[in-house]
Chain A
Amino acid sequence: MNAARTNAARTATTHAGESSSYDGPVLELENIGKSYGNVHALRGVNITVRQGEVTCVLGDNGAGKSTLIKIVAGLHEYSEGTMKLRGIVRQFGSPRVAQAFGIATVYQDLALAPLMSVWRNFFLANELRKGPFLDIPTMKRICAEELTKMGIVIPDLDRAVGSLSGGQRQVVAIARAIYFGARVIILDEPTAALGVKQSGVVLKYIAKARDAGLGVIFITHNPHHAYLVGNHFVVLKLGHVALDAHRDELTLEQLTAEMAGGQELAELSHELRSVHPEKVVLPHDAPGGIEAPELDPNELAGMEDV
């Protein structure tokens, strides 16, 4: 693709004990568990990620999705089970190590430094150098090209990332991961903050990354987005794998039902019937005095996970 990309790929293949002819799954999580004190955020999670496939991880708030990707991205260490990268058991001590193994991540909070320029953020920790100095013209050119490919044009790449719109920031973070991900890219809720059109662009990019032979982990709570690009679906619920199915074994309706908890959704639509969406009332002009909706104990328990 280009110099930096092949560089990243090269560093990724030079780690000890790896053979270049490995053709099994790039990433295998076996019985992975993670506890924070006495809170078990993840328990006995098995996930297999293959290169050239999109693995979608779905789940409600508090299901353990973020913990899972933080383990793969090297931010957290797992406390139980094993994680194998290309067949070799690994525990990434830091995100830098995970990146050296070819794993790039788009975090939900995007991990961009707001006061830094767009191009500095794009190449942060992967700076191109000419001798000891930064190769600024090349970095700006590549950054502009990659962002244009993603459908946004930022005329001044010296602008601070903090002055961009939410969608533009999202695209910068995604473009960066796609550019630097050598084997696996992880996208944590990449479409959550985006409009319809930009969500479409991101989904196309996920497909492109798959076609380029990367293993994509796509985390979302939107089953419609997941079903558009996913090869494999894993639904997490309260730290457990609730569903692990290939696309062939599943319809969108089943996925949505599983994701929403099937029966729970039916109950919800039944309860919400009483809110009368067509109703219009007189304006409210005194502060306060709004009644809390009636929640049953199950719903309250769900809110505490958030």
Chain B
Amino acid sequence: MTTVTATPTDDRVATRSATATIMGRPEVGALIGAVAVAALFLLVAPAFRSVGNIGTILYGSSTIGIMAVAVALLMIGGEFDLSAGVAVTTSGLAAAHLAWFFSLNVWVGIVFALALSLGVGAFNGWLLHVTGLPSFLVTLGTFFVLQGVNLALTRVVAGGVSSNSLNDLDGFASAKAVFASSFQLGSVEIKVPIIFWAALTVIGGIVLLRTHYGSWIFSAGGDSAAARAVGVPVTGTKIALFMGVGFCAWLLGMHNLFNYNNVQSGAGVGNEFIYIISAVIGGCLLTGGYGSVVGATVGSLIFGMTQLGIFYAGWDPDWFKTFLGVMLIAATLVNLYVKRKADAR
């Protein structure tokens, strides 16, 4: 065909160098940040250098990372979930109250909590779809509703601010083994949530980059009208993403329940921001359409390291939140800088 042979190669656009391609990855900023934070605490906190503490740091990170993975996917899909923090508590309380109140096998409560968590996610997505309101508003509503339900129902069922112990119910031992056990790997203690976290990161990363659902998520967040126009089921994709957050909230909620034997009804408030910050440090754009699951996992690791690093360094832990704020802004600036450099080739 004539047009093919007549087309000269456009020499204005050079192929990007390998460095630029690597620097263009969304998780690069987070990786740089993680190395910097690790270096800082290795320097100032002797206990940070102990190999045995790796397990503790990873565990702290995993309780953020499990949620951050789902929240990152949701943010890439263009939506927020401010109810993610209390949803973890809701899930734990639902399982505990149901099983305790009716003296059921705890697995009945666990399955009920799963259904409830997925239901809350689906409800968020559905409400977003029918109202057309921003997810910030819709999930802010859900946040308050769940927070109120957590406190009020716990007062009614357990007569206080924490759920009753499930120790003597059927299935407790097996549930604890599944959600809150640990094993030794050399001198490092690996708690089960670390495995959940790693598995979710791998699955989330593969779904995002290697399956067609990933393309749907990126496009739903990048330009939902365009995605819909070419045939992407945008509503379904977003509802599924909210349900993914629900699933992870259930997983973490079950861990918390069986790790501590009860759940505090006021817990979880404010954690939604930590999940969002982890995702943002990991390279997710607030506007959607761009980001990385691996980045969110590295972002959670930065949090875990900071939390324990401050403690090990003997600093006043009151500074933790301040440190988080500085980290958030620094990471966002690094991401922006790296992205601009990479885009400019």
Contacts and interface: CB of A to CB of B under 8 A. Distances in A.
Interface size class of B (residues with CB under 8 A): 35 or more
A70 B166 CA distance: 58
Interface string A238-256: 0000000000000000000
A151 B4 CA distance: 6
Contact of B222 (A94, A116, A125, A129): A116
A209 to B, nearest CB: 14
B289 interface: yes
Interface string A147-165: 0111111111011000100
Contacts of A134: 210-212, 214-215
A75 B218 contact: no
B231 interface: yes
B270 interface: no
A109 B226 contact: yes
B290 A115 contact: yes
A132 interface: yes
Contacts of B227: 111, 113, 124-125
Given A112-B223, A113-B222, A153-B9, A126 B231 contact: yes
Interface in B173-201: none
Interface string B17-42: 00001000000000000000000000
Interface string A117-128: 000110111110
A133 B230 contact: no
Given A75-B228, A96-B232, 14 more contacts: A99-B230, A110-B226, A113-B289, A115-B222, A115-B290, A116-B222, A123-B215, A124-B227, A124-B231, A129-B212, A151-B3, A155-B15, A156-B16, A176-B230
A124 B219 contact: yes
A151 B229 contact: no
A113 B219 contact: yes
A94 B16 CA distance: 39
Nearest to A113: B222
Interface of B: 1, 3-4, 6-7, 9-10, 13-16, 21, 206, 210-212, 214-216, 218-219, 222-223, 225-233, 285, 289-290, 343
Nearest to B222: A113
A107 interface: yes
A123 B225 CA distance: 16
A201 interface: yes
Contacts of A73: 229
A126 to B, nearest CB: 7
Interface residues of A, number: 43
A149 B289 contact: no
Given A107-B229, A115-B290, A153-B9, A127 B215 contact: yes
Contact of B231 (A96, A114, A121, A163): A96
A133 B16 CA distance: 27
Contact of A95 (B9, B222, B228): B228
B219 A96 contact: no
A40 B212 CA distance: 39
B24 to A, nearest CB: 9
Given A153-B7, A155-B15, A95 B230 contact: yes
Contacts of A125: 215-216, 227, 230-232
A150 B2 CA distance: 11
Q: Kindly name the residue among A113, A154, A156, A204 whose own CB sees the greatest number of chain B CB atoms within 10 A.
A: A113
B238 to A, nearest CB: 15
Nearest to B219: A113
B215 A115 contact: no
A91 to B, nearest CB: 17
A55 interface: no
Contacts of B210: 133-134, 136
A164 to B, nearest CB: 10
A105 interface: yes
Contacts of B4: 148-149, 151
Contacts of A99: 230-231
A174 B21 CA distance: 27
A110 B222 CA distance: 14
A148 B13 CA distance: 15
Contacts of A151: 3-4, 6-7
A111 B230 contact: yes
Q: Kindly name the residue among A73, A107, A156, A158 whose own CB sees the greatest number of chain B CB atoms within 10 A.
A: A156
